[in-house]
Amino acid sequence: MAKTKKIYICSECNYESINWLGRCPNCQSWNSFTEETRIPETAATDKGINSWLEDTAGRSEAVELNQAAGVIESRFAPLKDFTDFNRVLGGGLVKGSLTLLGGEPGIGKSTLLLQLCRSVAAARILYVCGEESPAQIKLRADRLGIKRSGIYLYPEVNFHKICQMAQKLQADLLIVDSIQTVYMPESSGNLGAVSQIKNAAAGFLRLCKSKGITGILVGHVTKEGQIAGPLVLEHMVDTVLMFEGDANHDLRMLRATKNRFGTVNELAVFQMTNTGLQEIQNPSHMLLANRPEGVSGSAVTAQLEGVRPLLLEVQALLNNANIGQAMRMTQGFDRNRLNMLLALLSKQFSLNLLNYDAFINVIGGLRIIEPACDLAVAAAILSSYYDMPLPNNSLFLGELGLTGELRSVNNIERRLNEAKGLGINQVFLPSADKSALSKSSLSTSLNLYFLDQLKQLTDICW
Ligand code: TYD
Ligand code: MG
């Protein structure tokens, strides 16, 4: 019999090493290596996971394209009470697809899935609860007012038993909460090990595709926001949904970061209430509702989330650093981008920002991902530095280049329409967008300040 071999695998990026390492040379994470036993190829083919996969695959046949097409896009009816959730999914949950729902522990993944169970038009749902007991889930379901029949709770961690039960019940929908609790006896590593997660996910993929079961796997994310376990998990599934939010806030955001059946970056915003998650139809309004006027360090921008613009408030705080190196901290904004903007502002306005602590916070636990919001971040920084509030009811849009030039923003009209509806009456934006607005009524109903260079901002604002 071939000898088994010990290897060490990085739980963040799946990098393999024959020795234990304190820091992963690939993704630079500390203490991420776990020991696993590698079953040699020959042994694996005899008895292990590979042979299992081959057995369950059945005899695969080549399918003619026109015949296959109809199968792929069959969807469950759109979810009731969840119009934006449907949009994130690209128009409803696709039958026979496999979805990964990622999010930090306690953010509300299990709550969201139970509410999905209530709305989804699947006759039989198998809810595998590896983390909680059926009694706990029943308590939560009562709280959420879920009364429908056809939801089967199954507290099991063994992969094969889950597969058998899904087939025995003829489940239309299989929810695995969470993939980190599933155990595959023939796979190496302990419960939660990288190889366990990877092989279990491959197994569920095989099950869903061959039996036409719709699968949803819950995956916990690491503190860096990656789904714990190998990245390959994200490549395997059809759709990756990320459920995010701020622990101190009751707002929750659901986003598709990968979707084989729709566009990505569509956003659904929920509020966690004592009777579960409720979709918020006008999130911009809610995000700006408590915004203080007339204070320094606050600016509003409009970020496009899929097709919908969302108004965000970004706050900056600059403070003279006491000793040592100045601190740079961000919530919802890329720290490298902040460093770039600070360098740009230092150069453009001859400031010495090197000695200043700089903090950026995007309100509501949201994230700025578009460079189109650069101008708002720069304006908030300047406002905090000079301790002068920006003009009331203003919107800031524009990507900043390294020479201080403002670059155009896509879908400008859509963003301005959303802003106008929420009481914004003046907008600072790139000159390059002038032509896009020339025929629009917005150019008369809003005060538009077109800028070529970042330097012009302070002259107009103050
Ligand atoms: P949960 O769905 O268990 O999170 P996850 O599965 O992502 O770990 O949600 C847990 C949190 O949600 C918990 O702190 C309580 C809160 N919650 C409410 O505020 N209202 C509710 O109706 C429910 C069911 C949960
Ligand atoms: Mg949970």
Nearest CA to ligand 1 atom 9: 108
C-alpha 193 – ligand 2 centre gap (Å): 19
Q: How many CB atoms lie within 10 A of CB 170?
A: 11
Give the residue-averaged pLDDT of 101-115. Answer: 93
In this prediction, residue 323 carries a pLDDT of 73
Nearest CA to ligand 1 atom 13: 106
Nearest CA to ligand 1 atom 21: 276
In this prediction, residue 206 carries a pLDDT of 92
Which one has a higher pLDDT value, 326 or 379? 379
Q: For residue 263, what are its two tokens?
A: 């566009």
DSSP secondary-structure letter at 393? T
Give the residue-averaged pLDDT of 219-232. Answer: 69
In this prediction, residue 326 carries a pLDDT of 87
> Is the four-CA dihedral 417, 419, 421, 426 of positive or negative sign?
negative
Band the pLDDT of 70: cuts 50, 70, 90: low
CA-CA distance, 407 to 185, in Å (whole number)? Answer: 56
Q: Residue holding tokens 């992969």?
A: 159
Q: Is 455 annotated as a binding residue?
A: no
DSSP secondary-structure letter at 347? H
| Ligand 1 atom index nearest CA of 275 | 22
In this prediction, residue 80 carries a pLDDT of 86
Does the pLDDT at position 455 exceed 60?
Answer: yes
Which CA distances in Å does 85 have to 38, 208, 281, 331, 418?
41, 22, 11, 25, 20
Nearest CA to ligand 1 atom 8: 106
Top mutation candidate among 104, 110, 111 for ligand 1, by most atoms within 8 Å of CB: 111
In this prediction, residue 174 carries a pLDDT of 97
Nearest CA to ligand 1 atom 2: 108
Does the pLDDT at position 163 exceed 60?
Answer: yes
CA-CA distance, 243 to 104, in Å (whole number)? Answer: 8
> Phi and psi dihedrals of 397, rounded to 5?
-140, 140
- Percentage with pLDDT > 70 across the chain: 90
Which amino acid would we find at residue 106? Answer: G
C-alpha 268 – ligand 1 centre gap (Å): 17
3-state SS assignment for residue 100: strand
Nearest CA to ligand 1 atom 22: 276
> Phi and psi dihedrals of 273, rounded to 5?
-115, 180
CB-defined site of ligand 1, < 6 Å? 103, 105-111, 140, 143-144, 272, 274-276
CA-CA distance, 260 to 239, in Å (whole number)? Answer: 6
Find the angle CA(406)-CA(408)-CA(411) to the nearest 5 degrees. Answer: 145
Query: Is 1:39 a contact under the CB 8 Å cutoff?
Result: no
Q: For residue 38, what are its two tokens?
A: 């590698």
CA-CA distance, 117 to 459, in Å (whole number)? Answer: 56
Which CA distances in Å does 381 have to 7, 329, 332, 378, 462?
48, 13, 15, 5, 14
Q: Is 105 annotated as a binding residue?
A: yes
Band the pLDDT of 308: cuts 50, 70, 90: confident
Q: For the CA atoms of the chain, what is the radius of gyration?
A: 25
Does the pLDDT at position 43 exceed 50?
Answer: no
Top mutation candidate among 220, 248, 272, 273 for ligand 1, by most atoms within 8 Å of CB: 272
Q: Is 309 annotated as a binding residue?
A: no
| Ligand 1 atom index nearest CA of 105 | 8
In this prediction, residue 364 carries a pLDDT of 86
Nearest CA to ligand 1 atom 10: 106
Q: How many CB atoms lie within 10 A of CB 262?
A: 17
In this prediction, residue 54 carries a pLDDT of 57
Q: What is the pTM of this model?
A: 0.80
Query: Is 244:220 a contact under the CB 8 Å cutoff?
Result: no
Does the pLDDT at position 181 exceed 70?
Answer: yes
Band the pLDDT of 319: cuts 50, 70, 90: very high
Residues contacting residue 162 through CB under 8 Å, at least 6 positions apart:
126, 128, 154, 156, 174, 176, 182
Q: Is 106 annotated as a binding residue?
A: yes
pLDDT tens string 250-291: 889 999 999 998 888 788 999 999 999 999 988 898 888 888
- Percentage with pLDDT > 90 across the chain: 57
Q: Which of 213, 203, 192, 169 is nearest to 54 (CA)?
A: 203
In this prediction, residue 190 carries a pLDDT of 78
Long-range contacts of 71-78 (CB under 8 A, 24+ apart): 71/96, 72/96, 72/261, 73/261, 75/261, 76/120, 76/121, 76/122, 76/214, 77/121
Give the residue-averaged pLDDT of 418-431. Answer: 94
Band the pLDDT of 45: cuts 50, 70, 90: very low
In this prediction, residue 360 carries a pLDDT of 97
CA-CA distance, 42 to 133, in Å (whole number)? Answer: 39
C-alpha 25 – ligand 2 centre gap (Å): 32
Does the pLDDT at position 420 exceed 60?
Answer: yes
DSSP secondary-structure letter at 163? H
In this prediction, residue 377 carries a pLDDT of 98
Give the residue-averaged pLDDT of 239-248. Answer: 85
pLDDT tens string 396-411: 999 999 999 999 999 9
CA-CA distance, 259 to 99, in Å (whole number)? Answer: 9
Q: For residue 368, what are its two tokens?
A: 């700025």
Q: Is 421 annotated as a binding residue?
A: no
Ligand with smallest separation from the Cα of 103: 1
Band the pLDDT of 1: cuts 50, 70, 90: low
Ligand with smallest separation from the Cα of 129: 2
In this prediction, residue 245 carries a pLDDT of 84
Q: Residue holding tokens 């899929």?
A: 306
Query: Is 8:194 a contact under the CB 8 Å cutoff?
Result: no
Band the pLDDT of 113: cuts 50, 70, 90: very high
Band the pLDDT of 241: cuts 50, 70, 90: very high
Q: Is 103 annotated as a binding residue?
A: yes
C-alpha 130 – ligand 2 centre gap (Å): 9
Q: Is 276 annotated as a binding residue?
A: no
What does pLDDT average to over the chain?
88
Band the pLDDT of 213: cuts 50, 70, 90: very high
Residue 441 bridge partners (DSSP): none
Q: Note the maximum CA span of the chain.
A: 81
